[in-house]
Amino acid sequence: MAVVSGTRAIVALDVPGSAEAVALVDRLGDACDFVKVGSELFTAAGPDVIAAVRRRGESADGDRDVFLDLKLHDIPNTVRAAARRASALGARLLTVHASGGRAMVDAAVEGAGGNCGVLAVTVLTSLDAAGLGEAWGRQISDVEAEVLRLADLARGAGARGVVCSGVEAAAVRARHGDALEILVPGVRLAGSGVHDQRRIVTPGGAASAGATYIVVGRTVSEDADPRGALARVRAELLASPS
């Protein structure tokens, strides 16, 4: 499986508030050109945190990109409006749940417009087959089949891409080629703790499977030298076979 050229590393700002987010961005400096603002930070700090981390310091190409990971799941009109606001705030990527249905994903794409890509979450990396079956009320024997089903739905609704684990990324890439971007969360450097994740891969493993983006969190933010940890992540991406 060919590596997507220029697989980008996104650093998760999974911190309690704006001050901590800015501090982490400052420690990473221009080594970090893409960050994730998730539910914890967005709830604590509000929309203003997006501008704060975009413009803090200087990244290589000016403002750094922001991935707004809110995993929206609501009626289409509500999601459309939320996606419109996310785009206006300057988010480059926004997540919605593919399980919200084709109409909801389509509404998100319409609201986000051309400047903010909508990524549809397939199956959370914290879920294995047993957990997914419990949540959906039926026996699941093949998580990959569920991921592919939801990826099909996302593509049909016009999403830019999907979120899936590195375990399923190669199957999504093989099925959809370049028609979908793939974001792989829960990425860990070898030797890092798995925490609450179930289906994880290394940066090189994700890139080799066809990831367009990877998200790295505690493997960078909890390192004594986060800038150095991010450099190791990027080195591994570059060294992955194509």
Rg of the chain over all Cα atoms, to the nearest angstrom: 17
Is 71 designated active site?
yes
Nearest to 189, CA basis, from 228, 162, 161: 228
For 118, the enclosing helix (H) or strand (E) is strand 117-121
Other CB atoms within a 10 A radius of the CB of residue 137 amount to 6
DSSP class per residue in 190-229: TT---TT-SS-B-HHHHHHTT-SEEEE-HHHHTSSSHHHH
Q: Calculate the CA dihedral of residues 52, 23, 119, 129 and round it to 10 degrees.
A: -150
Structure tokens at 64: 């750094």
The SS3 call for residue 12 is strand
| HEC readout, 35-66 | EEEEHHHHHHHCCHHHHHHHHCCCECCECCEE
Which residue out of 27, 71, 175, 234 is catalytically annotated? 71
Count the alpha carbons within 13 Å of 110 in the hemisphere toward its beta carbon. Answer: 13
Positions annotated as catalytic residues are 71
